[in-house]
Chains A and B, each alone.
Chain A
Amino acid sequence: MQMSSIVKTTADVLFPFILIYGFYIIIHGHLTPGGGFQGGAILASGVLLLLLAYKYAESTNVVRQVVMKSLESTGLLLFIIAALSAMMLGAGFFFNWLSPGGILFGDIVAYGSGTANLNTGGLIPIMNIAVGIEVVGAISVILLALLSGIKEKI
């Protein structure tokens, strides 16, 4: 079944906004509600929009299963390497060595109320990003597996 061009155009227009919102949720995971999993699910819902608006065969040229599987593994590996990196520095597994004072996400959180600082949290934002990558890959693989079962009527 072919979707109308209204649906396709709307999907095209909405897709970048959904991506940006997903990235926002992931990157602000340590400050606001949400985090890696939720943001990753939002990103995957953008992928789902593309898959539904276009034919399965067309969309798999863009959303490829191999890429999504690799994303899943990469996210998980990033997570576990972030945890292992503390061990290489001689501290315990999962020790948050970037906070405070690290190069990245290393600012010290100011005491009292005020605007939130994105550049804090140490390893926590990195792990959020890793989980986000993992979740978008995993949910996309599930969606591709579900949609591959649909028989096209000609």
Chain B
Amino acid sequence: MSQYAALLLAIPLIAAFAMPLFGLIGKKIRNSWAILTMLATVAAALILVWEVLTQGTIIYAFGAVDPSLTIPFDSGGVPIRILFVIDAMSAFMILTAAIMMFAATLYSISSESEQTGQDGYYALLFLLMAGIFGMVSTGDLFNFFVFLEINSLAGAALAAYRIKGGVAVEGGLKYAFISTVSGLFFLIAVGMLYGQYNSLNIAYIASVIDFTGLSLVAVVLMIVSLAMKSGSVPMHFWTPDTYSSAPSSITALLIVSSMASLYAIFRIAFSLFGLTMNVVTVGWVIIILGILSMFIGVSMALPQKDVKRLMAYHSVSQIGYMLVGLGVGLAVLGDQQMLAQFGVVAMEGGIFHIINYALYKGLLFLIAGAVIYRCGTANLNELGGLGHSMKWTMGFFIIAALAIAGIPPFNGFASKLMIYESVFVFNPFIAVIAMVVSIMTLASFVKVFHSMFMGPKLPQYETVKEVPMPMLIGMGLLAVLIILFGLFPDLVVNTLVEPAALALIDRSGYITSVMGGI
């Protein structure tokens, strides 16, 4: 009986709730509490991931004497409790979130040290993480909605945390609106499913599903709402404002929360509906969303002058790769031969890209935050010559920029190559578009690199120093992971990514893990 699934939720919550009390005592004690609970959460997450990878899917029933008891004896074969179902895919997302939480919290300790209102900042940060961990591990639709709301409210409050003359409030408000609208869409869809199948448990609904017209409406609402929350193209308009106005460490976490929404799209498409719906159509819709995101995101990024807005548009573009990879997997789900030939590889590429994207995009935002922390501006036309004084930051930037452009030997290359290869077999045009987008990404980051770090030392940045050690450690961890993932992609794919892709495909395995051998 493993209790780590509950601890994953309990530790961030207790950390968030006690934060204001520790804040009353003193600043040092509050910061130590934040680091301590962050380490405890990350440790619980890592142990949980290890358990899932060695023992298979873990089920946790809340409020039961024995958490592994999913179906009470007197419930008539229906799981009625709130369940956490942590399979290899959820474990993969938990690992991603834990790494980013470690880096962002450590970075915040330094980058926010001069600011006011830090009690609330850390409390909201831990609530945001609790929401993300809940979203990726829950096995219950309504419970997912609750965590989506926790995540959205904490994210909106954090995006508007530093007022900056009202600009940040706009970003936060947009995030709050978009999250509320998507949350309501999702809730209506959940209601439609609940009305038909009398249950909220994903595995139970999947086991009895009979795809009606109402279920089709539910699919559309769920995919639209979650694509909205993850920032895919027709609904991407909030990303530049929100990502650029939030504090940089928070932007890195908002990236993870958009990844959690992306995870939910595929959990719903693969595990909840699977082959009962028309996977070819839904798969192609997701692929088209992906292509549009890739191309429009990168072409909007090229003319940007604000470094964080530029990176925000790139995050729209990168989400396209994951949508394409997993969309191809979904489109060929019904055809065993095509699935074995390239579908699984496309999904592995898409899933591998999730962690790679979180790592390098998080690192890029942390670097942008480091430059703003020292220079006070994000305008590329005003920055310059920072390579003389911020050598470590420049090194990290080179690593992250080459990784996002898909240059070997960094991690972006590994996952993008998997997507190119497999998607080329499916449809060559998509692979060509993906490669063109990659080149445009490189062009855009060459521009950023040149205008931020190259050139002579500017007089107004004469006194600029390297950023403090905790920020460097946070960034360095991500940079090291980017290089390691790029050098040994086989190891990561075999131990983490492949089980995750197979867990998504294996719908009956997901149902059996909750419902028992029915």
A, B assembled together: yes
B24 adjacent to A92 (CB under 8 Å)? no
CB proximity to A under 8 Å, residues B35-89: 60-67
Name the interface size band of chain B.
20 to 34
Number of residues on chain A facing chain B (CB within 8 A): 19
Number of A-B contacts (CB under 8 A): 57
CB neighbours of B61 from chain A (8 A): 92
From A22-30, A46-54, A71-79, the one touching the partner chain is: A71-79
Q: Which of B6, B24, B66 touches A87 (beta carbons < 8 Å)?
A: B6
Given the known inter-chain contacts A66-B24, A87-B3, please indicate yes or no for A93 contacting B14, CB distance below 8 A.
no
Asked if A76 meets B17 with Cβ closer than 8 Å, knowing A70-B24, A83-B10, A92-B60, the reply is: yes
Shortest CB distance B92–A (Å): 23
Q: In the complex, A77→B66 CA distance in Å?
A: 24
The reply to whether the CB of A19 lies closer than 8 angstroms to some CB of chain B is no
- Would B6 and A93 count as touching, CB distance under 8 A? yes
- The answer to whether B13 has its CB under 8 Å from any CB of chain A is yes
* Inter-chain contact A73/B20, CB cutoff 8 Å: yes
B18 at interface (Cβ–Cβ under 8 A)? yes
Within 8 A of B (CB), among A54-103: 66, 69-70, 72-74, 76-77, 80-81, 83-84, 87, 91-96
Minimum distance in angstroms from B163 CB to a CB of chain A: 15
Do the beta carbons of A84 and B10 come within 8 Å of each other?
yes
Say yes or no: is B21 at the interface (Cβ < 8 Å to chain A): yes
Partner of B65, one of A72, A81, A95: A95
What sequence of 0s and 1s flags, for each residue 114-151 of chain B, a beta carbon within 8 Å of any chain A beta carbon?
00000000000000000000000000000000000000
A-B CB contact pairs (8 Å), 26 listed: A69-B24, A70-B20, A70-B24, A73-B17, A73-B20, A74-B21, A77-B14, A77-B21, A80-B10, A80-B17, A81-B14, A83-B10, A87-B6, A91-B66, A92-B6, A92-B60, A92-B62, A92-B63, A93-B3, A93-B6, A93-B9, A93-B10, A93-B60, A93-B63, A95-B63, A96-B63
Residues of chain B having any CB pair with chain A under 8 Å: 3, 6-7, 9-10, 13-14, 17-21, 24, 60-67
Closest 7 interchain pairs by CB?
A93-B6, A76-B17, A92-B67, A94-B63, A92-B64, A73-B20, A73-B21
